[in-house]
Amino acid sequence: NKDWASYAADKYNSKYSPLDQINKENVKDLGIVWEWDSPDNILMKTKRYPISIYQTTPLAINGVLFISSSLGTVSAVDGKTGKTIWKYDPEVYNAEGKPAHGGFMHRGVSYWDDGKDGRIIFGTLDGRLIAISAKDGKPVEAFGNKGIVDLTKGLSRTFAPGDYSVPTPPIISNGIIVVGSSITDAGPKSMKPPGDVRGFDVKTGKQLWTFHTIP
């Protein structure tokens, strides 16, 4: 078995796997081994959210799948049985207003491991950067403010929080989390967030640098 450790297979976004067990001759014989229910299904029974797209790509690390839901709940799932090991709900649906562009859609998470400490790192639809333990899904206390960095802070101007979200997994390279964003920038009535790209320390969550995009 080979891990799928990044959103698009690797940091180069190759979207390629060298595994060859499945080929054009035997693909017709594939069947369902297990099915998994997203935590969103339970939430949708109590309150209706404008979920229209499920675009997450699970990571596969040492036999465990790490999956985010459209509402941003992150789950660890046993790759053999489909049983949920743990889940972490950032409760983005409790934020004031809708996410940027008015919808709930999340594409996945990122993984970092220094050989001792495995972390799942992801952005949220209400503008947070969160680090949780890959082992048990608990927030990493040493990262930011008890596992959370407020991404709406540290930019060049203030703006309505609902105009800034991070639905796409960040890239982690050389100990730095590189984070972009999805922003609502139409309309002249109020200041809108900049689309700057930023780097954060993977261990502490400290902001290290900013690349200012063209306004």
pLDDT band at 189 (very low <50, low <70, confident <90, very high): low
- Asked if 166 and 179 count as a contact pair (C-beta separation under 8 A), the reply is yes
CA dihedral (196, 197, 198, 203) positive or negative: positive
How far is residue 110's CA from residue 170's CA, in Å, rounded to a whole number? 6
Q: What's the full length of the chain, in residues?
A: 215
Question: What's the DSSP call for residue 13?
Answer: -
Question: Looking at residue 71, what is its pLDDT?
Answer: 86
Q: Which of 115, 142, 118 is nearest to 66 (CA)?
A: 118
Answer with the residue of higher pLDDT: 121 or 188: 121
Q: What pTM did the predictor assign?
A: 0.92
pLDDT band at 157 (very low <50, low <70, confident <90, very high): confident
Q: 68: helix, coil or strand?
A: strand
Question: Looking at residue 214, what is its pLDDT?
Answer: 83
Q: Is the pLDDT of residue 52 over 70?
A: no
Task: Tell the residue number behind the tokens 């930011």, with chain if given.
Answer: 144
